[in-house]
Amino acid sequence: MTQDDLKALVGRAVLDHIPDGAVVGVGTGSTVNQFIDALATRKDRIAGAVSSSEASTARLRSHGIRVLETQDVASIPVYIDGADEIDPRGHMIKGGGAALTREKIVADLAERFICICDESKRVAVLGAFPLPVEVVPLAVPRLIRRFAALGGQASVRPGVTTDNGQCVLDVRGLTITDPLALEAEISLWPGVLTVGIFARHRASLCLLGTPGGVVTLDFA
């Protein structure tokens, strides 16, 4: 099976975890695109979706799925999104698609975060994938120095402006053994809008696409 086949597999499998009549939180990325296409086959069984990016919003609406704003809901039962890496405790690195801030906002509304990804995203320790950090451009030089003090090499992702009008730093060379602590520390640095460590908002469940089928990882 190709990587696209595995993404489609988990995109369909996660439909079984969505309650009838629910408003669904929808993430961003290629795996989520497969989920959105699958969700369209059951759009009459949900109340709508809260989207984490303009790209996902456009795809949802193209299928005739109602998109609600965050102010329209106090909470949602489930948020579905992919990951760039996921560790054995459900901590993730996210932001390869530059939607990390809105993804974390929608995840914060959800009772459960269900991660959908292929088996290549499963790691023992986070950090091989460059850590995305959405930042205010004014702070870039200072933040590059702060990451260097942690042993990381940060650089601005070229040609990328987020849906929030900011830039993204990609930080290489980190080995993230305590995701919760590092997420908390970086989040306090002036100029950081969002760090792409999802430890506080870790996955409750992961549906992992493998050549042998979907493997369910439960982190509850």
At residue 102, what is the residue type? R
| Whole-number Å distance between alpha carbons of 143 and 126 | 20
**156-165 burial: b if 16+ Cβ within 10 Å, else e:** ebeeeebbee
- Beta strand 85-86 with 92-93 is antiparallel
CA max distance for the chain = 52
Exposed, middle or buried: residue 210 (CB in 10 Å: 0-12, 13-18, 19+)? middle
CA atoms within 13 A on the CB side of 213: 2
- Given a contact cutoff of 8 angstroms between Cβ atoms, the answer to whether 216 and 207 are in contact is yes
Give the SS3 label for residue 176: strand
The residue from 54, 69, 103, 119 that is catalytic is: 103
Q: Is 69 designated active site?
A: no
- List the catalytic residues: 103
